[in-house]
Amino acid sequence: MGTGMLATGLAGNSLTFCSESPKKHDSKQKFNMCGYAAPKLDKVRIGHIGLGMRGPGAVERMSYIEGVEIVALCDQYEDRVEKCQKVLTDKGLPRAKSYSGNKEAWKAICESPDVDLVYITTPWAWHTPMAVYAMEHGKHAVSEVPAARSIEECWQLVETSEKTRQHFMMLENCCYDFFELLTLNMARQGFFGEIVHAEGAYIHTLLGLNFDKNGYAEMWRLKENQYRNGSLYPTHGLGPVCQIMDINRGDQMDYLVSMSSNDYLMAAKAKELAATDPFYQEFTTDHYRGNMNTTTVRTHRGRTIMVQHDVTSPRPYSRIHLVSGTKGIAQKWPAPARIAIGHEDWLKEEEMKKLEEKYTPEIVRKMGEMAKKVGGHGGMDFMMDWRLIDCLRNGLPLDQDVYDAALWSAIAPLSEKSISNRSNSVDVPDFTRGSWKSNTPVELTLKGGGTTSVKNI
């Protein structure tokens, strides 16, 4: 979600709609990146690109992790680079190389022999181009969500990662939230029985922030909402339930249908603001996406997923996170989180604590309290970063691979396509090219890892 670099092609009506490209892709997988363990990196030298909303927090978190060297900082705005330099020097760490002043400065980080990992926290339109360029220059790459805005970009990520054997991971931090990890472990141990249905969402009131001149740089996120109608930001709710259902690793999405309401809020807000400020005149259009989007997915094994997106309505925050199986159910929102077994009522607080004690996974037992101290959405951001670095330093497969990034991100353009065709069903591409049938689930233990320490707390 970073605002460090301007998303090209987002100015007014020049935005191109996301759609499937006619380009044909190989029917056979070049190399299976699921379960791939890259050579160990004793030190992980990181170049950060995009230092707006999300970038500074990532720099701060990475500064605590053993074996990390922050060697490069990049943003088109020099003052943002300097603020992050101060994060380093205040901790007694050396200044990184600075890159700023133009929209092409980031390329030098990808080309540098001194960088192992490119950490991308820019507007959405830059995620795929930067990640592809980094991998092509021998770097592992990670980016904020979503990883791609079109199906063609999803394939670019997949094919580049397979060709170069460089990791690409989308930074889906919600996969490391405490309750999501608890329910993942419970599902793995059969608590819910066979998973039948799951739900996720991103319901978060961002209307004011999207119209704030000092919010997202050059109003890039508002422009995304102005000309695209669909589930634009699906991965926070989708990622955790996909891991629980072993999507890409035992099951696969088959097709989806998507429906959006009308817009009742964004065009009205633009008109209200434009009445006293000419700056907002370009945003007084009737092209805004529908406020509430609901997308439903059917998998090859006959299970269903529902994901919702609404960042404009005045509603309490929710990612829903509902997991429903043949033996039990869990739901995180509305708070408090609840679990039920069979036909019984929701479990009492004392029973919930016993389940938490029994099913809390190893990574939370080891890093949970430390993650809370460092912070980042209650600790899940730090747990994600720590796990990423620990896997790279120990030569372990990543919890999220390029196929997850591509599939979870693909929901946005696929939903746009369904909506534009009266919510008819749309086939979901199989980015694994069939390897989902034999890929193994995400590893929940720290076997072979867990050796990376935390410093300077």
Same domain, 240 and 206: yes
Asked if the structure places residue 231 within a domain, the reply is yes
pLDDT tens profile 251-301:
999 999 999 999 999 999 999 999 999 999 999 999 999 999 999 999 999
For 249, other C-beta atoms within 10 Å of its C-beta total 23
pLDDT band for position 7 (cuts 50, 70, 90): very low
Same domain, 153 and 186: no
How would you class 231 by CB atoms within 10 Å of its CB: exposed for 0-12, middle for 13-18, buried for 19 or more?
Answer: buried
Average pLDDT for the chain: 94
Same domain, 161 and 191: no
Range 82-91 average pLDDT: 98
Statement: residue 11 has pLDDT above 80:
no
Same domain, 270 and 297: yes
Number of structural domains in the chain: 2
Same domain, 305 and 289: yes
Distance (Å, whole) CA 204 – CA 315: 7
Q: Which of 172, 201, 225 is the last residue of a domain?
A: 172
> Which pLDDT score, from 0 to 100, does residue 3 have?
43
Same domain, 188 and 74: no
Asked if the structure places residue 446 within a domain, the reply is no
Same domain, 72 and 140: yes
Q: Which of 122, 146, 172 is the last residue of a domain?
A: 172
Range 158-172 average pLDDT: 98
Percentage of the chain lying above the pLDDT 70 cut: 95
Q: How far is CA 89 from the centre of its chain?
A: 29
> Which pLDDT score, from 0 to 100, does residue 43 have?
98
Distance (Å, whole) CA 393 – CA 449: 8
Taking the CA of residue 204 as centre, how many other CA atoms within 13 Å lie in the half-sphere pointing to its CB?
Answer: 12
Distance (Å, whole) CA 36 – CA 166: 9
Token pair, residue 213, equals: 């001149």
> Which pLDDT score, from 0 to 100, does residue 24 have?
73
Domain extent, residue 54, equals 12-24+32-172
Mean pLDDT is lowest, of 17-31, 183-197, 213-227, 339-353, for 17-31
**What is the DSSP-derived secondary structure letter of residue 146?**
P
Residues 6 or more apart whose CB falls under 8 angstroms from that of 309 comprise: 201, 202, 203, 230, 231, 232, 233, 234, 292, 293, 295
pLDDT band for position 23 (cuts 50, 70, 90): low
Indicate which CATH number applies to the domain containing 84: 3.40.50.720
Statement: residue 2 has pLDDT above 90:
no
Alpha-carbon separation of residue 350 from 80, 117, 257, 339 (angstroms): 47, 44, 40, 12
Answer whether the bond into residue 336 is a cis peptide, omega within 30°: yes
pTM to 2 decimal places: 0.95
Same domain, 244 and 157: no
Indicate which CATH number applies to the domain containing 314: 3.30.360.10
Dmax (CA) of the chain: 61
> Which pLDDT score, from 0 to 100, does residue 456 have?
82
Same domain, 168 and 195: no
Statement: residue 6 has pLDDT above 80:
no
